[in-house]
């Protein structure tokens, strides 16, 4: 099982000042970013994301310090691991966390390898294994370029009328996680469909159109957009930005926002 862990240094809602100096409830409200604190035997299947449709996506989790009560599950591979392996044990083997401090890691789900080669690292012996359907790697500044290349062909390409709730990746239980999509250049007959909010948008928003409003892409060129799943807000306020007019509406239990890259934040101290 895993628990939700609130992060300090919540992401502030920015850009919510409007003409005439008006501000909104959303401007004063910070979005509390949440990632799951997992156990040392937790695998991606606990999130229901270990499936082919999530290949190329990234997920952030926090591993606690290792205790005598925690088991060290067998892991396989080196640098790349089968997707059903224990995340924290694999992260320790990969040198991304320590047993003393734990830490937050970002995982990318990739296609499986034909075979995995074991090794001894950081006090963990991984084993060799024949191929699996999916694999996982840990993404940081040093590995980001290789990870980007590996997932390039798997990022979903959206139509300009695609709602986030229609992408198949819109799981309200994944608050704090970021889903990446590819918006093509807009068609010449683009319809300005209804979008609700500014910076924070309704969960069922048209992804590419909302991304234009947020200033992340243009209709002429499109591009990659990173959609963060956020806690809901009582009120979302519309505005006119970048040629797109959005509406007022309720935020519900879950909203979305657009980030420049999947979030890496520092976890709050664990409570005993």
pLDDT digit string (tens) for 137-190? 999 988 999 999 999 999 999 999 999 999 999 999 999 999 999 999 999 888
Rounded to whole angstroms, how far apart are CA atoms 55 and 108?
Answer: 8
45-54, 164-173, 254-263: the lowest-pLDDT one: 254-263
User: Does residue 10 sit in helix, strand or coil?
Assistant: coil
Rounded to whole angstroms, how far apart are CA atoms 200 and 142?
Answer: 31
Say if residue 1's pLDDT is above 80.
no
Residue-wise pLDDT tens digits, 184-242 = 999 988 888 889 999 999 999 999 999 999 999 999 999 999 999 999 999 999 999 99
Say if residue 16's pLDDT is above 80.
no
Q: Which residue bears the tokens 């999530």?
A: 54
Say if residue 101's pLDDT is above 80.
yes
Q: What is the pLDDT, as a whole number, of residue 7?
A: 32
- Closest C-alpha to 185, from 211, 204, 150: 211
User: Does residue 51 sit in helix, strand or coil?
Assistant: coil
User: Does residue 272 sit in helix, strand or coil?
Assistant: coil
- Closest C-alpha to 34, from 187, 165, 164, 229: 229
Rounded to whole angstroms, how far apart are CA atoms 132 and 73?
Answer: 18
Sequence-distant (6+) residues with CB within 8 A of 137 are: 79, 80, 81, 107, 108, 110, 143, 147, 150
pTM: 0.83
The arithmetic mean of pLDDT across residues 27-42, rounded, is 71
Q: What is the pLDDT, as a whole number, of residue 19?
A: 27
Q: What is the pLDDT, as a whole number, of residue 270?
A: 31
């Amino acid at each position: 099982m895993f628990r939700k862990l609130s992060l300090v240094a919540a992401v502030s809602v920015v850009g919510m000042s409007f003409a005439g100096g008006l501000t909104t409830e959303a401007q004063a409200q910070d979005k509390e970013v949440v990632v799951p604190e997992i156990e040392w035997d937790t695998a991606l299947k606990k999130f229901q994301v270990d499936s082919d449709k999530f290949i190329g996506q990234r997920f952030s989790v926090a591993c606690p310090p290792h205790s005598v009560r925690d088991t060290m599950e067998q892991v396989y591979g080196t640098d790349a691991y089968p997707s059903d392996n224990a995340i924290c044990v694999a992260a320790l083997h990969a040198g991304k966390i320590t047993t003393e401090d734990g830490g937050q890691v970002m995982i990318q789900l990739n296609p499986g390898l034909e075979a995995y080669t074991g090794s001894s690292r950081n006090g963990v012996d991984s084993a060799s294994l024949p191929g699996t359907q999916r694999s996982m790697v840990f993404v940081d500044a040093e590995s980001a370029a290789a990870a980007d290349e590996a997932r390039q062909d798997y990022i979903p390409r959206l139509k300009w009328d695609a709602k986030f709730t229609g992408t198949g990746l819109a799981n309200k239980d994944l608050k704090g996680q970021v889903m990446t999509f590819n918006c093509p250049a807009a068609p010449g007959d683009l319809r300005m469909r209804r979008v609700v909010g500014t910076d924070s948008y309704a969960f069922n928003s048209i992804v590419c159109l909302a991304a234009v409003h947020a200033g992340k892409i243009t209709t002429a060129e499109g591009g990659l957009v990173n959609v963060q799943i956020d806690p809901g807000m009582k009120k979302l306020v519309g505005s006119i930005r970048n040629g797109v007019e959005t509406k007022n509406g309720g935020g519900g239990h879950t909203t979305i926002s657009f980030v420049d890259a999947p979030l890496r934040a520092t976890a709050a101290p664990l409570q005993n």
